[in-house]
Structure 1
Amino acid sequence: MDPSRRGVLGATLFSVALTIPEWPDVLGRLAAVESGKTRRIGFREVDAVAAMTEKVSELDDQFGGRHARPMAAAFLVNTVGPHLKVDAPEDVRRALLSATSDLLYLTGFMAVDEGVHGVAQQYYLKALELAGAADDHLTYCTTLRGMSLQAVDLGHASRAVRLADSAAAASPAAGPRMRAFLAGQQAHSYAASGDRSSALSFIKEAEVAMDKAESRAKAFGSYAPSSLAYHVSQVRYALGDKAGAVQSLKESDRLRDSHYRRSSVRYNALLAERQLEVGHLEEACATWHRVLDDYPLVSSGSADEKVQRMKSLVRPHLRNQAARSLYERGRAATVSV
């Protein structure tokens, strides 16, 4: 059984009325975890949580959330939970809370990928709570942004705007890459809500911030130029520029590292959908074939949805040989899905 279903994180239905705690409400809330007297922990345990988060993230990027989330959930229940209940020096405890909040955020993100949105919300809310207890602005803002992404993808644009704005407001001293990370999501959310002016303003802010981040260092960051190109595409599409949206998704694919296989499946499927929408059937089929090259290697609810959607979109075009060939390949790929 998935440990997340028997631990402190219960499943709920997605709610647009979900109450999100503000930063002052969670700051220093150390009562969120218990303290016992049985043993002590140190930075070795904190490092183990951080290392596990990094490894799980790598697995998620390559193979999808359905593979990686059970591992993270089991680690949270069986290892991290007991760590949170024992004595530790104050600096160790705060570091552990921060590392745990980061793992909770990642686990919530993977739950979104699986399509279990109520479970994802519970992980996200616990991540916010522990980030506040640890005085960890970075994970707090990142989690709010993740919740905004979840909301906009589910069609709750106004909720996505509020969450994206809350994430930005809680990070007043963000560096350029973080600012691009937050502003890109604000742009996407405002575009989905129909606010053209705000969407264009925030996407410009994200572009300027990313230029600064890339000129200062080429170090790895969670928000890369490929991610920005994806947000540019989302803004263009929401504002009616479908051809421009296709070009930006192509740019996103060109810039994306091959390590991010799950993202490639999802975003190239989106690219194919938009190529079809602008009337480029055979180009869309070629893009979908690339999706199917990677699809068997990814265990992901969002990838499953994209491939099922591909079949429904291609079905009206089966007189076309390219479409018929793609459709048959898609049927074979989803026999067990």
Structure 2
Amino acid sequence: MSPSRRPNKNLRALLAEARWTQAAMARTVNALAAEIDLDLNYDRTAVAHWLSGTRPAPPVPELIAEALARRLGRAVSPAAAGLSGEPSGPAAGRLPASDTPISTALTDLCTMENEPARRAAARMLPYREAELAKLATEAGDRVPWQRPPRAEPGDPDDLAVIRLAVRFYSTSFDAHGGRTARSSLAAYLADDIAPRLREHPGRAPRRGLLVEASRLSFLLARMYQDASIHGLAQRHFTTALRLADESGDPTARAVVLRGLSAQGLALGHRRIALRAAEAAAASRTPEGPARAFLLSQLAVTQAACGRHRAARESLDRAERAMAKAGRAGTTGPFTAYSPGSMEFQSAEVLRYTGDLSAARTALVNSLAHRSVEDHRAMALSHAQHAEILVGLGHVEEASASWNSFLDHYGHLRSGAADLAAARLRQMLTPFRKLPAASAVLHRALAVTSPSQHP
């Protein structure tokens, strides 16, 4: 840390306006650090040092500014908080401006993953609650439009090749989690997809190319999200949204908004996540798998916000859309929605409404529909099932479900699975004298690491 010679009056004034104690600020900064997979353990003494003029090293000034912005409901920069005269992160970690051409922005963002210095800086970008609010509001205010399809010269097989890539990276994510093949996907987007977007100067890229580019960017965002690197995940979701907007495809746009909603909900931003889910569900998406995908997320966010009747209605609409999807027989990522995923969302709605017994049944149904090769979904479903069983007082049954979680955990490099493993240890430790719980705890300690790497 580098000391400053004068007390930080700006930070003290903002702290007073926020009506925060120094300890409360420290706890919030630690929580925001966890959103980008950074382990910080500040307490009130650290805040006292900042107030006396000490400037913390990056990315802490950005985290402090984001903490204050969320508390005060307005933008706060590190400079306004008296923590830096310039952006606190190295220039290599800054993001392309919003008016940068999408192909250039895609290249700049994706090349960060394969350049160590830029990657380290970019991964420390905080998750911006205000950015989610802005995107949700803009999406709700906009009137969706649809670009008419048109033929353009080019290889008729190139989109088929890109769709194979979408399927490959989606399958890899499902089987192994977000910390596998991420660098490969980033390189593919930067080195192959972005140059295609720049072809034929003066003409807009083909709609199909933009849609597939959006899907690949969406998958990359989910990989970062799964690795608990939420700030950078949010930036990739935003890029995917820009690509979908330029395609004019309302379904592609709605899918990204749904992803932004799910990320926001997972981080505790329930009301804004609901707004994003509402904007996604309001899109001109035809009945079928995509409609079910959007409505199921709307139901979960409504339930999370206490709107239980609306959640049930949205879930019913999603199930009706699923029935039509089943008759249509569509397959593949982004064109189908599995019954296992639908049942998992149903379990989430039921969990938020307090009906744990019904949520348990939905999770059992979800697991019955899953492929054994879908290790990520199987692991997280077993973990959720085990947590519900503990809540119902069935510790031995929960131990069996957690054993199944560990069977799949060994195939994964996933931050979400790591967090589930940490909850396993936390929830079973009080029952460690029970033989079943003790056996699972010993197995979990053998296969999980106390420090996980993104």
TM-score (norm 2): 0.67
Q: Where does structure 1 differ by over 6 angstroms across 4 or more consecutive aligned residues?
A: 25-29
Is 1:254 aligned to 2:254, yes or no? no
Q: Quote the residue 2:212 is aligned against.
A: 99
The 1:326/1:254 distance shift into structure 2, 3 A limit, reads same
- Superposition pairs for residues 38-49 of structure 1, below 5 Å? 42-49=155-162
Sort the Cα spacing of 1:176 and 1:28 in 2 relative to 1 into closer, same or farther, 3 A.
closer
Corresponding position of 1:34: none
| Alignment partners' CA distance in 2, 1:183 and 1:134 | 22
- Measure, in 2, the Cα distance between the counterparts of 1:77 and 1:70: 11
- Other-structure match for 1:36: none
Q: Which residue of 1 aligns with 2:286?
A: 174
Alignment deviations for residues 275-299 of structure 1 (CA, whole Å, 9 cap, x no partner): 1110000000001001111111111
Could you report, residue by residue, the CA deviation over 1:118-160 in whole angstroms, capped at 9, with x for unpaired residues?
1111111111111111112221111101111111111111111
Which of 347, 352, 359 is residue 238 of structure 1 equivalent to?
352
The match for 1:190 is: 302
Give 1:201-220 correspondences, 5 Å limit.
201-217=313-329, 219-220=331-332
Partner residue in 1 for 2:230: 117
2:129 matched residue in structure 1: 16
- Which residue matches 2:428? 314
Task: Give 2:392's aligned residue.
Answer: 278
The offset of 1:27, in angstroms, is: 6.2
Match for 1:270: what amino acid? Q
5 Å matches for 1:8-157? 10=122, 12-18=125-131, 19-20=134-135, 21-22=138-139, 24=142, 42-87=155-200, 90=203, 93-157=206-270
Percent identity between the aligned chains?
31
Q: CA deviation at 1:79?
A: 2.1
Letter in 1 for 2:254: C
Q: Please give the secondary structure, in 1, of the residue aligned with 2:277.
A: helix
Q: CA separation of 1:128/1:193 partners in 2, compared to 1, >3 Å: closer, same or farther? A: same
After alignment, is 268-277 or 95-104 more displaced? Answer: 95-104
Number of residue-to-residue matches in the alignment: 325
Could you say what secondary structure the match of 2:179 adopts?
A: helix
Cα deviation 1:212-256 (Å, max 9, x = unaligned): 222343645542211111111111111111111111111111111
More deviation, 214-223/97-106: 214-223
* 1:173 to partner: Cα distance: 4.0
Q: Render the CA deviation track for 1:58-82: whole Å, top value 9, x for unaligned.
A: 1111111100222111111222222
Give the match's secondary structure for 2:206: helix
Distance in 2 of aligned mates of 1:330 and 1:74: 34
- Structure 1, unmatched stretches of 5+, are 30-39
SS of 1:2's partner is: helix
Shift of 1:41: 6.4
Distance apart, 1:269 and its partner CA: 0.6
Quick check: 2:127–2:231 contact (8 Å CA) kept in 1?
A: yes
Q: Which residue of 2 aligns with 1:2?
A: 113
Q: What code does the residue aligned with 2:315 have?
A: I
Q: Is 1:289 paired with 2:398?
A: no
TM-score (norm 1): 0.89
Amino acid at match of 2:270: A
CA shift in 2, pair 1:42/1:22, >3 Å: farther
**Residue type of the partner of 2:302?**
Y
Q: CA RMSD of the aligned region, Å?
A: 2.5
Structure with the bigger percentage of helix: 1
Higher Rg of the two aligned structures: 2
Asked if the contact 1:26–1:128 (Cα under 8 Å) also holds between the matched residues in 2, the reply is no
Code of the aligned partner of 2:376:
R
Q: 1:107 deviation in Å?
A: 0.7
User: 2:285 & 2:192 partners in 1: Cα distance?
Assistant: 33
1:176 Cα deviation after fit: 2.3
Q: Answer whether contact 2:146 2:250 (CA < 8 A) is retained.
A: no
Deviations 1:166-188 (A, max 9, x none): 11112x24222222111111100
CA 78–25 in structure 1, closer or farther in 2 if over 3 Å, else same: farther
Q: Which residue of 1 aligns with 2:379?
A: 265
**Distance (Å, rounded) in 2 between the aligned partners of 1:173 and 1:292:** 38
- From 311, 334, 337, give the equivalent of 2:448: 334
- Residue by residue, what CA displacement relative to the aligned partner does 1:94-119 show, whole Å, maximum 9, x if unpaired? 33222211111111111111111111
| Residues in 2 aligned to 1:219 and 1:78: alpha-carbon distance in whole angstroms | 28
Change (3 A) 1:4 1:287: farther
Post-superposition offset of 1:193:
0.5
C-alpha separation between the residues in 2 aligned to 1:173 and 1:294? 34
CA contact 1:27–1:134 (8 Å) conserved in 2: no
Q: Give the deviation of 1:211 after TM superposition.
A: 1.9
**TM-superposed deviation, 1:318:** 0.8
Report how far residue 267 of structure 1 moved. 1.5
Change (3 A) 1:4 1:43: farther
Amino acid corresponding to residue 292 of structure 2 in structure 1: A
Q: Partner of 2:338 in structure 1?
A: 224
